[in-house]
């Protein structure tokens, strides 16, 4: 009986090992990457503006900054932007010591990030917040309200690009492209944009409204890596 059981175990192990070997059999394959780009005219801008004041008294500096921010927010409300489209981003109050003058100075600052969904109001908004007291502009990011749709289109183009590459390589090898074995999405959800250093302004910069916005285009990019079987 023991011999029979032992024989059964050995037989099962042999069959299992053979099946496992068959499953682990290497499939000839080719690994390619693909990229899909969709150029889009942006329809939104994310603008970061702020106020910064420096002085010898912390409370006085903070009060001046609060008054300016209050004026900026009131102007934004006057433009009837939805409350969900603007938000305080950063508030700070810090002390610096001047070793030459041997005294402390204090700097208060606060930023507001604004999502502008009507780009025709860009110049009006910028001049308005400057008139309200904003003395720092940190930059402008361009966005699209249809980003999910464009990302989907970019992914399709990335797969098509990968398939075309695989076909080229397989043709050179006198082989054919089979099914996809593995797909890896390497896409990033950020977009190329200009980077602006913070620009400090003063009241002399206030001027009549003028066209200052060049919208251009942004690129929605998808990257994919695909393992194709080759036959």
pLDDT at residue 71 is higher than 90 = yes
Sketch out the chain's domains with CATH numbers. 27-42+145-192+217-231 (3.30.110.170), 44-143 (3.30.70.2970)
Rounded-to-integer distance, Cα 136 and Cα 199, Å:
5
If you average pLDDT over residues 34-54, what whole number do you get?
Answer: 94
What per-residue confidence (pLDDT) applies to 215?
Answer: 81
Mean pLDDT taken over the chain: 83
What pLDDT shows up at residue 188? 72
pLDDT, one tens digit per residue, over 113-159 is 999 999 999 999 999 999 999 999 998 999 999 999 999 999 999 99
Instruction: Tell me what pLDDT residue 157 has.
Output: 97
Q: Is the pLDDT of residue 3 over 80?
A: no
pTM of the model: 0.70
For strand 199-200 and strand 136-143, is the pairing parallel, antiparallel, or unpaired?
antiparallel
């Amino acid at each position: 009986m023991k011999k029979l059981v032992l024989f059964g175990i050995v037989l099962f192990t042999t069959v299992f090992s053979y099946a496992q070997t068959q499953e682990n059999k290497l499939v000839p394959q080719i690994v390619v990457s693909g990229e899909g780009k969709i150029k889009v005219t942006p329809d939104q801008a994310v603008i970061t503006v702020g106020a910064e004041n420096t002085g010898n008294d912390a409370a006085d500096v903070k009060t001046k900054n609060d008054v300016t921010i209050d004026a900026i927010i009131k102007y934004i409300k006057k433009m009837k932007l939805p409350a969900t489209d603007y938000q305080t981003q950063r508030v700070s109050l810090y002390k610096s010591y001047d070793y030459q003058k041997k005294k402390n100075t204090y700097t208060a600052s606060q930023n507001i990030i604004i999502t502008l969904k009507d780009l025709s109001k860009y110049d009006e908004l910028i001049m308005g917040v400057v008139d309200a007291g904003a003395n720092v502009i940190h930059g402008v990011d361009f966005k699209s309200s249809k980003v999910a749709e464009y990302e989907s289109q970019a992914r399709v183009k990335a797969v098509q690009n990968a398939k075309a590459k695989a076909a080229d390589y397989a043709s050179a090898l006198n082989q054919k492209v089979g099914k996809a074995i593995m797909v890896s999405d390497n896409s990033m959800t950020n977009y190329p944009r200009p980077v602006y250093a913070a620009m400090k302004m003063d009241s002399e910069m206030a001027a009549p409204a003028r066209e200052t916005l060049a919208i251009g285009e942004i690129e929605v990019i998808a990257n994919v890596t695909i393992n194709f079987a080759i036959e």
